[in-house]
Structure 1
Amino acid sequence: MTQHVPNHLDHCYRGENPVRTLGHLFRPDRGKLLLAAAIFVVKHSPIWLLPLITATVLDVVVQHGSLGDLWQATGVLLFILVINYPLHQWYVRLLGGSIRRMGTALRSALCRRLQHLSIGYHARVHASVLQTKVVRDVESVEHMVQQSADLGLGALVTLTGGLVVIGIRTPEFLPVFLIVVPAAGFLVMRLRGHLRSHNEDFRREVEQFSSQVGEMTTLIPITRAHGLERAALGRVDGSLRQVFAAGLRLDVMNGRFNSAAWVTLNILGVLCLTGSALVAYHGWLPVTPGDVVMLSSFFTVLTGSVTTLLGLAPVISKGLESVRSAGEVLQAPDLESNEGKAPVERVTGRIDFEQVGFAYDDAAPAVEGFSLTARPGETIALVGASGAGKSTVLNLLIGFIRPTSGRILLDGVDMSTLDLRSYRRFLSVVPQESILFEGSIRDNVTYGLSDIDERTLQQALRDANALEFVERLPDGLDTVVGQRGARLSGGQKQRLAIARALIRDPRVLVLDEATSALDNRSEALVQEALARLVHGRTVFVVAHRLSTIQGADRIVVMANGTVRESGTHDELLARGGAYAELQPAAARG
């Protein structure tokens, strides 16, 4: 079920109406929710029936009425108390299951959307902020619905039941009681706007703080190496002070809201008690002593119900703000569009860049008029100073970004017409820093592949020069590498990344500074593995070290997003142009 809801939600969410979004999420469980509400009404009936039964018992005692009325009232009360237990268990199963499914569906919708949003979106929005939306905001939505159902529904049932009993037994007092509900509604409407703005401010401060904590943990090695602990803590402390101030403002507003509601409602309760007692004392209306006790009890119960409803306003406001927060992802337009495009069934490896240009937002073009043809099995090295456009070309090749001008052809077909997800099955990337997740070596190398046998896995590790160190590990292939591969050296992680690429047998390979962070011994092992990896594949490589560049079939020198010159290593050295000028820097790299 949850697999269908996210897609449905993607198309229906518009951001302005979070209640409608919740309705879409709960649509599959509408029947269960209605049944849960009906069960709740029955199981909650002792709360609003007790004052009536108490009044009946008291009148029997004071007026020496029929004992049959006493036993009847007692029997009714005992029955509804006894059936409360099984009904409550049934209610919890129905409501709890619906809320959990809603939370699962919303998290699934967010995760699916994150997978479809462009790399540009992920570059702009910090991962910690997105994690907060998927975990914390959905939890707030679940909490809001749970509280609204348990406390809000209870308060509404009590209010409705109590007003019905008063209207039947002492209709003269019904107008007095009806004043409470409009007064409560006025308070809620008056203060809700302030609560929403404060909740939004607090949420954004927490997201900003989460982002800074994520940066702090990522930078700990650099911070420690340069003795910058005080500076790092200073940045976090500043954000903490802002979170504290926003949270305190929210708490003060909630406190004022709840206190004003409580005082107002209890003043009305005292006035009602005194008034009903005077009416009974002077005999102005046919009000019995039991009615006075009932009215007093009802006012206490109904006051508590209205106070509960008012107290839910901050919870509801926070929950709806969390729905809006999730909506910022669900309605983000920056999607990688693949729907309806032709799937890639086969790749030979010819890549043509035809006058390709790309600019990030309103900045100057990162690549402009870039033309290049890579033949199947050819290795192309991209070199140039920082900012020359090399990484942009690689991102265009992978399909992370689309050209803003020109076009890229894959085996003669415009890539803008292709489903890039199917194209990437034939592509592998070995980045500068290998990205490993906290799992076993086997899981990391075969990530996303379910039909890899042991022999193929070991051959990929052997070709990547990784099998020798894997076999020395305590648990071999089942050794857990730690978060981001923390238990392995840089060279070991890089060799696992090469094994991951090899096992996929890609037709197009991207090497992005794959050896720049390694020592000489590790680099030699990785270079030997790369030599096996690139064989027979179309390869695009970005590197500074001569050992990686000089073996390429063609070297393309870039500057300011354009091609300055291209040729083999020897041809470019003999030409004495831009490439020859880069050699001292490359040799030092």
Structure 2
Amino acid sequence: MGELDHRYRGEHPIRTLAYLYRDHRASLLIAVVAFVFKHSPTWMLPLVTANIIDVLVAGGPVGGIWLNAGVLCLLLTLNYPFHLLYVRHLSGTIRKVSTGLRSSLCARMQQLSIGYHARVSAGVLQTKVIRDVESVETMSQQAGDIGLSAIVMLAGGVTVIAVKAPQALPVFLVVVPAAAILVMKMRDRMRTDNESFRLEVERLSSRVTEMTHLIPITRAHGLEKDALHRVDGTLRNVLRTGLRLDLVNGRFGSLAWILLNTLGVVCLAGAALVSYYRVFALTPGDVVMLSTFFTTLTTAVTSLMSLTPIISKGLESVRSIGEVLQAPDLEHNDGKAEVTGVTGRLDFQDVAFTYGVKDLSLSVRPGETVALVGASGAGKSTVLNLVIGFLRPTKGRILLDGVDMETLDLRTYRRFVSVVPQESILFEGSVRENVTYGLPDVPDEVVRRALEDANAAEFVDRLPDGWDTVVGERGARLSGGQKQRLAIARALIRDPRILILDEATSALDTRSEKLIQQAMARLVTGRTVLVVAHRLSTIRTADRIVVMEHGRVTETGSHDELVRAGGAYALLQSA
């Protein structure tokens, strides 16, 4: 949750990254130090090679050869422990930050209002949790592996050159970056071809998806050849752009290789001529060292520049994640009064909401069953969302047991509320896990009672593994009526004081609906129940029926009273 303490205000993603890693600075420092030691053979090798060549040319003592070789072997041996130390601290830090970031995103999603979730699709949020965090993770890892390697190589190489051949340092500081920039400019010309290939692949994906969806119609009308012709045309485009991209990549690879190696030869020849004509003191070993360093330093700068697209993608993902973490549409409960008990009285006093409800005044007594009826868009679901606390009134007040709900911690209030939505929501787990979701150590007899009260025990007992039967993703292995009865059992097992049924029988067949109606007489005892249903047979037994039109209450009364009145409810009944 630490990431949520930060106040995102459209700041630069680099600053956000620094904030995310702020508690891991010691581990990052250890990782950098370990990398310097583990990577030291790469920039020490040219120096050791130069020293050994100078010993050979000058006919120096053989001990110099053994000393240099021994130092390099020692550094190579130290690579193993320092590499493990580097991986443990860098990768460990990146994994911890990624895990914390995903946890923070999920926590923020739980805090964001239902209105926010209605506007932003679940697929978009899932992408942020999975793909965007993965991009940040990849950027951090690549910056560590490739970036540190290039920086250490540059720092080590430039330091060695400054000590061993300072006269050559200005040449390296100009020529090496220039060569790397030239290579990157050549690579930029590939961007258009890469984009064209990506677009053609996307078109192919779209065409294949379209084809699979249309297979029943295609086969029914004998249009297989036409369908294949459409796909084949896209495949030819993918082939053409792919080959063009391969040729561009081949030209780039060859030209870059020729350029860098030609510059390497120029550096070797130039250093050799400087040493031959004694322009300034360069030993044969220095000539080899400078030639080797030119190639490695040029590669290091090119590697740093190749990180640009990875870093750009990662920083864009940081911005994307920030859209959720800085979303202002939160439900604020901190500091408000906790609800320790509910009797179930609800009073709407001149309540209005931006859309759906206008000047609603309604009192619901504890233990009363109130049904809301009306055409689509009448405001029924808005009233239920106001009762749950998903929406807040833009005008007026809602009192819970005489207390303004605006002053209450709604998280504690909802412990006394159970909701059965229009679309039953089950997860891929057992029947028992779905029914007892969020409740630890529920006795078997309580589960059995909830299933029986929801008239679900009959089909659950017939399942292959009974309560332990896995229902599949979103309850795919159950019928609509079975899923809805399990959702009702989940609501009942919490023994709520306020029960909300939003089209709870809409997914049921006639027999299942009758089973629910039979159970309703048992369920409503001692509870305040609010029911929304299109099937008027479901709400005949309600204590009171509230008829709504365009967000306003037009009629209230029992079923018999409203039928005798001959108003809007009677018209719905006759329809």
Q: Say yes or no: TM over 0.5.
A: yes
Partner of 1:362: none
The answer to whether the 8 A contact 2:3-2:104 is kept is yes
After TM superposition, give the deviation of residue 191 of structure 1 in Å. 12
Matched, 1:438 2:433: no
The answer to whether the 8 A contact 1:25-1:105 is kept is no
Partner of 1:409: 399
Could you list the per-position Cα deviations for residues 537-570 of structure 1 after superposition, in whole angstroms to 9, with x for gaps in the alignment?
A: 1111111222212111111111111111111111
Could you list the per-position Cα deviations for residues 272-305 of structure 1 after superposition, in whole angstroms to 9, with x for gaps in the alignment?
A: 3332122122221111111111001001111111
Structure 2 unaligned spans of 5+: none
TM-score normalised by the chain length of structure 2: 0.87
Partner of 1:92: 87
After TM superposition, give the deviation of residue 473 of structure 1 in Å. 1.4
After TM superposition, give the deviation of residue 192 of structure 1 in Å. 13
Among 299, 303, 307, the alignment partner of 1:308 is 303
3-state secondary structure, aligned to 1:179: helix
**CA spacing shift, 1:514–1:406, aligned 2, 3 Å:** same
- Separation (CA, whole Å) in 2 of partners of 1:419 and 1:194: 59
Whichever residue aligns with residue 122 of structure 1, its letter is H
After TM superposition, give the deviation of residue 177 of structure 1 in Å. 1.2
The answer to whether the 8 A contact 1:368-1:561 is kept is yes
Among 114, 117, 121, the alignment partner of 2:112 is 117
Matched, 1:334 2:324: no
1:167-178, aligned counterparts within 5 Å? Answer: 167-178=162-173
1:170-319, aligned counterparts within 5 Å? Answer: 170-179=165-174, 183=178, 268-319=263-314
Whichever residue aligns with residue 319 of structure 1, its letter is G
Partner of 1:5: 2
- Separation (CA, whole Å) in 2 of partners of 1:194 and 1:116: 46
Matched, 1:19 2:14: yes
* RMSD across aligned positions (CA): 3.8
After TM superposition, give the deviation of residue 185 of structure 1 in Å. 9.4
3-state secondary structure, aligned to 1:564: strand
- Separation (CA, whole Å) in 2 of partners of 1:446 and 1:497: 10
Using the aligned pairs only, state the percent identity: 64
Partner of 2:103: 108
**CA spacing shift, 1:199–1:516, aligned 2, 3 Å:** farther
Partner of 1:65: 60
After TM superposition, give the deviation of residue 181 of structure 1 in Å. 6.6
**CA spacing shift, 1:191–1:403, aligned 2, 3 Å:** farther
- Separation (CA, whole Å) in 2 of partners of 1:567 and 1:262: 87
Whichever residue aligns with residue 306 of structure 2, its letter is G
Could you list the per-position Cα deviations for residues 115-162 of structure 1 after superposition, in whole angstroms to 9, with x for gaps in the alignment?
A: 111111111111111111101111111111111111110110010000
Could you list the per-position Cα deviations for residues 325-362 of structure 1 after superposition, in whole angstroms to 9, with x for gaps in the alignment?
A: 11111111111111111111111111111111112xxx
Among 543, 546, 551, the alignment partner of 1:556 is 546
Structure 1 unaligned spans of 5+: 360-364
Whichever residue aligns with residue 350 of structure 2, its letter is Q
The answer to whether the 8 A contact 2:184-2:305 is kept is no
3-state secondary structure, aligned to 1:346: coil
Among 415, 420, 443, the alignment partner of 1:425 is 415
**CA spacing shift, 1:511–1:261, aligned 2, 3 Å:** farther
The answer to whether the 8 A contact 1:110-1:330 is kept is yes
TM-score normalised by the chain length of structure 1: 0.85
- Separation (CA, whole Å) in 2 of partners of 1:180 and 1:404: 67
3-state secondary structure, aligned to 2:100: helix
After TM superposition, give the deviation of residue 167 of structure 1 in Å. 0.3
Could you list the per-position Cα deviations for residues 430-454 of structure 1 after superposition, in whole angstroms to 9, with x for gaps in the alignment?
A: 1222100000111101101113111
Partner of 1:533: 523
**CA spacing shift, 1:39–1:352, aligned 2, 3 Å:** same
Matched, 1:468 2:465: no
- Separation (CA, whole Å) in 1 of partners of 2:101 and 2:185: 31
The answer to whether the 8 A contact 2:546-2:553 is kept is yes
3-state secondary structure, aligned to 1:83: helix
1:347-358, aligned counterparts within 5 Å? Answer: 347-358=342-353
The answer to whether the 8 A contact 1:366-1:560 is kept is yes
Among 330, 339, 356, the alignment partner of 1:344 is 339
- Separation (CA, whole Å) in 2 of partners of 1:516 and 1:262: 69
The answer to whether the 8 A contact 2:176-2:294 is kept is no
Partner of 1:373: 363
After TM superposition, give the deviation of residue 269 of structure 1 in Å. 4.0
Among 504, 508, 523, the alignment partner of 1:518 is 508
The answer to whether the 8 A contact 1:491-1:526 is kept is no
After TM superposition, give the deviation of residue 515 of structure 1 in Å. 0.9
The answer to whether the 8 A contact 2:370-2:545 is kept is yes
